[in-house]
Structure 1
């Protein structure tokens, strides 16, 4: 008996269930990650101002490293989900192992650079004479956990590609709890000070990496996938990651330019900018969760040679992105009287931040489309286009932002430039999505 084709409503419900099942746990894992730094800051802050300042410098460097190497998760998700869609679990896990080996090699290279050069790196970032020794201590010890940290990124990509976002959530929450407990025990119980905080974080990261590796190794053995490093596979993972690295560096450059320009405007402007940027980053977690779902879902459809299913999923995720953006924007507008006093009691800073926050609220639907389409094209393995589009966006944003002080603009003008940046990203991604050139089916792009 021939099965009746699914109705449009049933198809939408199917996509909705898949998006929610992947996005909600992914959001929880994304939110749990910054809590590491918050826990360290709360514990180290009671040691003294110099220790907290040193932690601030070192953690900023480590956070930058995570954002630069996030392509390990993104590229692995796309590659693994394609092979999952093609029905070849052995090849999917093998691809994931190549990404993990690449992460470990990159981590070892970072250690080789950071350990001897830590004092110079800290000085380059302007740490004071009192804070620099603490920053150097924390950076050197924490660098020992970078291979584990990058391994966690790659292993997270493997599980996301296999449509498992629950395990990363459980590991992230467990890692946060372990990190907080170890920090308290080593900083105060063992009397190690800021070094104890660094060791606690390293141990927690290694524990997380061990859990991930146990899950991946178990899957590899079940499906007969080799665990040995494969030079060709590692090179392929690196090639897939390079365009995403260019994309990430361009985005980081945009944020750094905006912050540098705000700093030139005065203390009130940079303080208000920090508040606005913190909110912008928080909102990005919610939107990025949908993008992560998009990476896994699109990769699986394309791997299964289902181009129409990929198009339908893309359309539905765009609707999710717009709706989520509208809700987030309304929440920002409604919560702004409560949000600003949490960060500052200075009425000048509040007045400067208010119009910038309104711009952030208005731009959220655009941000929703951008994050979704970014995830769709990542899931399709369309990294070279994403790199090119972000470089173009940077080329548009940089002169506009740098002209703000010369033209007498303030923080509102900077965030208007940020809204322009997101609009340019939306246009470049929308044009690519509409062209259909991203739709390349098969187990590998």
Structure 2
């Protein structure tokens, strides 16, 4: 984008920041330097993020042909596992991407004292950012060459990155804790989700959740490594690993479910094997790029991860609580309602998570831009990814309409479930643009290290949405649940608009 475009955008945003972010939509697909960089990061990231939900959709399709009870049981078990995983790893992945990108940006300088002094002075007076960025010392103090990232021992193409080392240690420990917790607490957790001791869903749900929990260490470790690769703006490697794992999952599903006759347990076994394969592939690739042992143990950034990770933990708990509550309320209406909700939710997440590719791209570029005080680039990046998010959301609405409107029979042949699906389809279709904007705003906030606002705004949104879920579910049943979820995503997007529109936090530079 030219200097004229930058100047025009700044002048326009002085009038109305939110509105001006979406002007000149005709240039949204412009193949300039920024557009190409966004695409190189976003497309592989989106494909990788969509691969796992798509594999889950295939799981759902296979299990749906066992029976509606098994489909509903697995839906509840997946909801429990996903909530535990998100609570444990999502904060880690998000802060890892920002921290790795920021640390990598500071070490990209060629040892120019003036550039380093400018970088450090930019953090002065900004206590939150100062804590997030490791203090930049002279180029000679680095254990790696700033330009090549070579180790002192002469190992080529490797570099130290204390944020990456910290993330892997925390991810591995969290994975073990999650596995132990889910295995021993499976029954009470499922009871809380509405699967009572006399429910026919209980036994298949316990079997699936217990076996799938064995893969938790691999899941959390692989997601932590994906956060590291995103920080390096490399989303192709996670895509390759994820696709290989999911292909194995798809191949093993019918073998374990039908050939060996393991049923829902077979689906869980196939998923666990695929997750360990993904983790092994990523570890092998990462060890070729990063020296995972930091020069000094005190270089590990556990304090930074814990402080900002805790803020995002609050945010994730609030967000996943709403979705999990919705699944619980659907389960309380019976296995038919839960089966229909599971199909709608899997499609809803699989498609709208494509926008997370843009969020990852925006986060990585913004983190680097803010670390270098490149505010022009930060503004243009936020504008472009939001425009692309809106365009993507509109396209996804058409895709979802085709998938759920004309291919529902792929997931189940039960007439009652199909009848409820027809009621949920309009909500899943209509919320795609809103979901895309909400997810992209998440990436923008994380890239700007605006973790505090992200946490507290989500808590407020979740509090309102929880009340609406309880009220609307009791009054309108299945339809009420989807009305409340639609409001939930709308409020999330509104919170993102509010931050930029008020020119506060990291966006305060727009005031001048």
Task: Report the TM-score range of the alignment, normalised by the length of the smaller protein.
Answer: 0.7 to 0.9
How far 1:401 moved relative to its partner? Answer: 2.9
* Corresponding residue of 2:488: 421
TM-score by length of 2: 0.72
How far 1:172 moved relative to its partner? Answer: 0.5
* Corresponding residue of 1:433: 500
- The CA distance in 1 between the partners of 2:73 and 2:419, in whole Å, is 31
1:219 pairs with one of 275, 279, 289: 289
Q: Determine if contact 1:307/1:439 at 8 Å carries over to the other structure.
A: no
* Corresponding residue of 1:163: 233
- The CA distance in 1 between the partners of 2:61 and 2:391, in whole Å, is 35
- The CA distance in 2 between the partners of 1:46 and 1:362, in whole Å, is 28
C-alpha distance after superposition, 1:142-194 (max 9, x if no partner): 43332221010100000011111111110001112233455667778888776
* Corresponding residue of 1:104: 172
Q: Determine if contact 1:73/1:157 at 8 Å carries over to the other structure.
A: yes
Residue 144 of structure 2 is aligned to residue 76 of structure 1: no
Query: Could you say if the C-alpha distance between residues 116 and 361 of structure 1 is closer, same or farther in structure 2, counting changes exceeding 3 Å?
Result: closer
Query: Could you say if the C-alpha distance between residues 184 and 20 of structure 1 is closer, same or farther in structure 2, counting changes exceeding 3 Å?
Result: same
Q: Which moved more, 1:128-137 or 1:161-170?
A: 128-137
Residue 311 of structure 2 is aligned to residue 247 of structure 1: no
- The CA distance in 1 between the partners of 2:70 and 2:463, in whole Å, is 38
**Number of equivalences:** 435
Q: Determine if contact 1:37/1:59 at 8 Å carries over to the other structure.
A: no
How far 1:319 moved relative to its partner? Answer: 1.0
How far 1:139 moved relative to its partner? Answer: 4.0
Q: Which moved more, 1:32-41 or 1:167-176?
A: 32-41
How far 1:101 moved relative to its partner? Answer: 0.6
- The CA distance in 1 between the partners of 2:413 and 2:256, in whole Å, is 35
TM-score by length of 1: 0.81
Q: Which residues of structure 2 form unaligned runs of 5+?
A: 7-26, 109-145, 150-158
Give runs of aligned pairs for residues 44-55 of structure 1, distance below 5 A.
Answer: none
Query: Could you say if the C-alpha distance between residues 338 and 77 of structure 1 is closer, same or farther in structure 2, counting changes exceeding 3 Å?
Result: same
- The CA distance in 2 between the partners of 1:43 and 1:410, in whole Å, is 27
Q: Which residues of structure 1 form unaligned runs of 5+?
A: none
Q: Determine if contact 2:163/2:300 at 8 Å carries over to the other structure.
A: no
- The CA distance in 1 between the partners of 2:40 and 2:324, in whole Å, is 34
C-alpha distance after superposition, 1:264-322 (max 9, x if no partner): 66777666544443332233122222112111111121122212211110011111112
- The CA distance in 1 between the partners of 2:185 and 2:478, in whole Å, is 36
How far 1:76 moved relative to its partner? Answer: 0.8
Query: Could you say if the C-alpha distance between residues 233 and 114 of structure 1 is closer, same or farther in structure 2, counting changes exceeding 3 Å?
Result: same
- The CA distance in 2 between the partners of 1:268 and 1:196, in whole Å, is 23
- The CA distance in 2 between the partners of 1:184 and 1:344, in whole Å, is 16
